[in-house]
Structure 1
């Protein structure tokens, strides 16, 4: 009796364990479900999950005359056998993404007479074999991206005369032979980006709207496509070293950024509205941008902008020359740029600007001259910029701002001149900007706190302005960095400038340090610089409490120290003369 009970208990426990295992690890069964995609039931999709063999699929019955999609993704499929989809004859879009497909047999897509889109991306295909897709006469989109494809057979796309888009990005294709796309007379988009492509023959690509060859290993572009027309040609992030625009197609947008281009020739043959040449090694440009409206040349090695560079570039709307090494801009460089509205010249080595440089830029709205070495602006530099709204001259070496020269810029809304060495500002002139000025950035200059307080109060009292870039750290007035310290007579004197913080770097000091390090004179110099306060500075610091100390006393103290220094020097030289006589 006990034995029967114990056996029953064991059976019950085993049953419970099996049930728990089934709950935790349910059996993976292949199933296809049908879903309508809109209220009118004109679109539907069949989703098949947990598929290990395509031949086992049994699609559910679906109403006829539907625009029907089929998705078989994230399964364990490693091969597509012949006649795998004969039961899905009405399918117009087939998703086979994110599987493990390595091979496709001939006849795999037989019966899919209505198929227009085939997505095989994110699988493990190593080649595009011949005559696999020939039965797909209605196919318009073929996506083979993110596989391991190394070879594209010459007849891979034979018979696919309706193809509009082929995506082969992020594979391992090193070469594409001529004639591969010969039968694709309607092809508009070809994407071969992200491949180690070294050779490309685009024979037969007469209908393309976009050719994507970015992120490849192409080092030259020798194809003569000058008679072709397309919307986009993308050759960015490759290894091109030179560009001959006489061979380029007539494209609306050309992307050549992030290459190794050093020379650009036949620029006058370029018929694009946008060209990007940024992040290259360009030092010189031959020709002009005739019909281009947007030019990007930032992050190159340009040093000189000649008069002829933009002489026939009347269509240019935006010009970016930032992050180069430009130190010279000839007077007529921008002559004729009647439509230019945006000009970037930041992060260069510009120190001077010809007052007539911007004379023709009457449509200019944005001008960035920041992060250069500009020390002064000549009167009239901005006279003709009647449409200018934003002027950025921050991070330069300006000591003064010719506000009167800005009066002609009647549309100015934003002035940015922080991080310079400007100490005074004519507020009354700035207040004449007819109410348009809304942002003025003046932080990190050589402001005296009293001066900046007067400026701030006048500007705020007369108009509503923003003051960006403010910081409460250090001495400041409402976030605008300044100093309340006035320079002493000693600091402003020639002697004060002689004994400044860079004195120890001078050849004078270094000579005495090497030759007379143990002498009294050197100890005097070294001690003078090492002390927190020099004698004249100590005298000045006593001035508020000792009213009888006049500037004559300070001058006398300085003079005495100079006399002592001279006497010590003469004594040292006399000792050296005696030593020479002794050794003689």
Structure 2
């Protein structure tokens, strides 16, 4: 007895109270410890009584509460509970009401699968949505027996491995079951019902451990419209497991290990969206193709398909509305060749049916395609074609098949030229990606018939110079990206590149900006020439249009900017000159930039700066001087600035005395200059999170004691201006009075004269 008691004491300390078996052992041990000796029959009877009492006690008192009860409408509640469900009260009108649609949405945290023991059955019967979290490797979900009104059930991430006894049998009103993110392996006989759940529309078993789907797994779920079996270990589909799911619209089988469809899609004539991504499928059987032709979304990407059957592409147009869009995703396969479409098949599908515009988005990216047949796209009306990351050396197809194409991606191939014949009918092309190829010239002749271009990407090619650009962009404006080429010169004559609004020339070989001649581009508003090799800017360097709004010259090697370098850019609002080698900003550099709002001079080598340099920038609102190592910033020139000017001063060496004075001047309204930082500092010397240098000696400039306090002069000047304005108003008012008197005298004289003549 002593040994048993000691063993029990050790077990009580070591073993957790997780399951009924463990609970029984612990109770038996407790009885042994306290000296009770029971035979097996008495033990069994006593244990049943003790367990029942103890479970009732636990359900009522072990940290069980429902702290969050949100009343969201008439007889509608959203409730959060812990451990079990207790102490819930609803409006009297809602209990057993047929006048209101009662909705009780309960989320139960940290629960065991016996949480319902001791809970009022009538309360359980009112629940319509249940989300429950716990750790139940093996369970029978017995709490569902009393929840006959349940519509939505979410048992997600509960570590469930096995579910026994067909627990859903009484859920006659169920609409949605989500058992995702568990470890369920066997679903045979799991979905058995006393009465068929004709309202059920969605079932998710995603992220489980299912290997096999038996033929009768979903025999009683003919009403469901969405079935998610993704992210499991399913190897094959045999016995037609979906044959009775005639209402199914969405089927997700992606991220499994399926090798063959085996006709499993047979009878799914209402299926609209099929996801088979990340499997091991090598070919598509003809029975499945008959279903695939009805699909709006067919994703079979990331499989092992090598050959495309031409009958894969045509659509059954009579199943779709006009202007429907279908998606065929064949990316990340092993396709090397796209064959000609069969005209016979095409005519068979169109015969005896009204012609409808059913558009297709086709994704063939990340394959090994080396050749496209001329009529490869005849059996569809493509509006989007993605052929990126293949091995194409040319693109020769029937232009009439591409007349509706809006998006064409030919990036990451081996193209060095394009043919006009393939693009001549592409009047609707909006987005064209030709990046990462071997183009030495811009394909403007091939694109001469495309008048709706919005985005053209020619980055990462071998274009060294451009002296013409005979293309037309969309009336709303277009974006052209020529970055990462070897461009050193670009000339766009008048009446070319019509509608070009934004141009990117980053990461090229531009060293002389004078060779970038864009003065005739009247629609160009944004230009990015960052990450080039520009060293110097003078008055003639920037041959850019007057209406340019945004100019980025950052990440160059600029060490000097001459006065009036930007004088032509009178509409410029943003100028970026960061990450260069500027040490001095001369007076007059920003002449003409009266509309500039944002100026970035960060990450340069400017040690001293006079604010009078910025006198021409009347509307400047943001100035970044961060990361320059500034020692001296004379801000007296900003005392007369009309608008608030935010100046970023991260990582500089300005004195704390100067910073304190500048902040005080702004606070008191003497100055509009507002010193700040992008990131406040918490170590070292700082004021308001702005770093500064504590002076160890008086570094006052020799002439400072002879200088006039410009703040006082500015205030006096403003007073004089106000007096002058008032005097002007008084003079104007006096002149108005004099003019009125003269008008009255003139009118009186005219009246008297008329009276004399009348007499």
Q: Is 2:297 the counterpart of 1:232?
A: yes
Change (3 A) 1:441 1:400: same
Return the alpha-carbon distance in structure 2 between the equivalents of residues 339 and 302 of structure 1. Answer: 23
Q: What is residue 550 of structure 2 aligned with on the other side?
A: 466
Q: What is residue 382 of structure 1 aligned with on the other side?
A: 470
Q: 1:243 aligns with which of 300, 308, 314?
A: 308
Other structure's SS at 1:437 match: coil
Alignment of 1:26-41 (within 5 A): 29-30=58-59, 38-41=72-75
CA drift of 1:348 comes to 0.3
Q: What is residue 211 of structure 2 aligned with on the other side?
A: 150
Q: Is 2:276 the counterpart of 1:213?
A: yes
Other structure's SS at 2:308 match: strand
Q: CA deviation digits over 1:305-336, x for unaligned, max 9?
A: 22x25442111011111111112322322110
Alignment of 1:407-418 (within 5 A): 407-418=495-506
Q: What is residue 403 of structure 1 aligned with on the other side?
A: 492
Q: What is residue 257 of structure 2 aligned with on the other side?
A: 196
Return the alpha-carbon distance in structure 1 between the equivalents of residues 487 and 518 of structure 2. Answer: 17
Change (3 A) 1:410 1:247: closer
Q: What is residue 134 of structure 2 aligned with on the other side?
A: 74
| Higher RCO (CA-CA < 8 Å; seq separation 6+) | 1
Return the alpha-carbon distance in structure 2 between the equivalents of residues 260 and 356 of structure 1. Answer: 33
CA drift of 1:114 comes to 1.0
CA drift of 1:368 comes to 1.7
Q: Is 2:398 the counterpart of 1:304?
A: no
Other structure's SS at 1:198 match: coil
Return the alpha-carbon distance in structure 2 between the equivalents of residues 357 and 324 of structure 1. Answer: 18
Other structure's SS at 1:333 match: helix
TM-score (norm 2): 0.54
Do 1:69 and 1:93's aligned partners in 2 also have CA atoms closer than 8 Å?
A: yes
Other structure's SS at 2:234 match: coil
Q: What is residue 457 of structure 2 aligned with on the other side?
A: 368
Q: Is 2:271 the counterpart of 1:185?
A: no
Q: What is residue 87 of structure 2 aligned with on the other side?
A: none
Return the alpha-carbon distance in structure 1 between the equivalents of residues 108 and 482 of structure 2. Answer: 62
Q: Is 2:182 the counterpart of 1:92?
A: no
Q: 1:258 aligns with which of 312, 332, 338?
A: 332
Alignment RMSD (CA, Å): 3.6
CA drift of 1:196 comes to 1.1
Do 2:370 and 2:393's aligned partners in 1 also have CA atoms closer than 8 Å?
A: yes
Do 1:106 and 1:132's aligned partners in 2 also have CA atoms closer than 8 Å?
A: no
Other structure's SS at 2:540 match: helix
Q: How many equivalent pairs are there?
A: 452
CA drift of 1:162 comes to 0.9
Change (3 A) 1:444 1:192: closer
Do 1:449 and 1:476's aligned partners in 2 also have CA atoms closer than 8 Å?
A: yes
Q: Is 2:514 the counterpart of 1:454?
A: no
Q: What is residue 362 of structure 2 aligned with on the other side?
A: 275
Do 1:255 and 1:275's aligned partners in 2 also have CA atoms closer than 8 Å?
A: yes
Q: What is residue 123 of structure 1 aligned with on the other side?
A: 182
CA drift of 1:84 comes to 5.3
Return the alpha-carbon distance in structure 1 between the equivalents of residues 547 and 514 of structure 2. Answer: 16
CA drift of 1:131 comes to 6.4
Return the alpha-carbon distance in structure 2 between the equivalents of residues 258 and 37 of structure 1. Answer: 49
Bigger CA drift: 229-238 or 150-159? 229-238
Bigger CA drift: 50-59 or 278-287? 50-59
Return the alpha-carbon distance in structure 2 between the equivalents of residues 428 and 375 of structure 1. Answer: 12
Do 2:490 and 2:516's aligned partners in 1 also have CA atoms closer than 8 Å?
A: no
Q: What is residue 109 of structure 1 aligned with on the other side?
A: 168
TM-score (norm 1): 0.69
CA drift of 1:33 comes to 6.9
Other structure's SS at 2:136 match: coil
Return the alpha-carbon distance in structure 2 between the equivalents of residues 454 and 426 of structure 1. Answer: 7
Bigger CA drift: 463-472 or 116-125? 463-472
Q: What is residue 336 of structure 1 aligned with on the other side?
A: 425
Q: CA deviation digits over 1:505-550, x for unaligned, max 9?
A: xxxxxxxxxxxxxxxxxxxxxxxxxxxxxxxxxxxxxxxxxxxxxx
Change (3 A) 1:331 1:378: farther
Return the alpha-carbon distance in structure 1 between the equivalents of residues 215 and 259 of structure 2. Answer: 17
Q: What is residue 228 of structure 2 aligned with on the other side?
A: 167
Q: CA deviation digits over 1:533-578, x for unaligned, max 9?
A: xxxxxxxxxxxxxxxxxxxxxxxxxxxxxxxxxxxxxxxxxxxxxx
Q: What is residue 394 of structure 1 aligned with on the other side?
A: 483
CA drift of 1:288 comes to 4.1
Change (3 A) 1:67 1:88: closer
Return the alpha-carbon distance in structure 2 between the equivalents of residues 36 and 445 of structure 1. Answer: 60
Return the alpha-carbon distance in structure 2 between the equivalents of residues 410 and 254 of structure 1. Answer: 35
Q: Is 2:133 the counterpart of 1:133?
A: no
Bigger CA drift: 269-278 or 363-372? 269-278
CA drift of 1:442 comes to 2.9
CA drift of 1:240 comes to 2.0
Return the alpha-carbon distance in structure 2 between the equivalents of residues 384 and 51 of structure 1. Answer: 65
Do 2:154 and 2:177's aligned partners in 1 also have CA atoms closer than 8 Å?
A: yes
CA drift of 1:479 comes to 5.3
Other structure's SS at 1:45 match: strand
Change (3 A) 1:158 1:262: same
Change (3 A) 1:72 1:480: closer
Change (3 A) 1:30 1:204: farther
CA drift of 1:480 comes to 9.0
CA drift of 1:398 comes to 3.5
Do 1:131 and 1:155's aligned partners in 2 also have CA atoms closer than 8 Å?
A: no
Bigger CA drift: 92-101 or 31-40? 31-40
Q: What is residue 433 of structure 1 aligned with on the other side?
A: 521
